[in-house]
Structure 1
């Protein structure tokens, strides 16, 4: 799901960058397509980031924050345990008996 979202976002930004490039005149002093796309991407990114920060500040709940921290600590402890088991099994498989 995440990779599809980033692909769609990239395609939208690519189309918008081409639209911006298409509206400019063919002036040799005009910025390159990459520069234009970078500027438009950074402007979209900063506006999306500002909107996300605004939503986060509006909906900030301490109980949710505590639950997220607890969930992160439990999941990271479980992942480190399973990573250790996987590493041990892999080394046993490669080393042999």
Structure 2
């Protein structure tokens, strides 16, 4: 969860940074002929592509194989523990439902 939060925070800061600095868009010769909605859509699309590219680059820089192995190990251990506790819980429920016979 920490990595996802970190990436989300970086993405948010990147978008805000682009908004504050103002992305340099190619000058259009006849900008008045385009409707405002099309201009806004094009601007948002440019911001989105820039943010997506930056987030992908950040993810590729911070990707560590040891972290991936640790996550897999934690997942396998936690699923093994949960299956054990689920089995115990199921046995308790069945014992309660059966009662003393």
**TM value normalised by structure 1:** 0.45
When Rg is computed on C-alpha atoms for both structures, the one with the higher figure is 2
Q: RCO greater where, 1 or 2, for CA within 8 Å and sep 6 or more?
A: 2
Give the TM-score normalised by the residue count of structure 2.
0.43
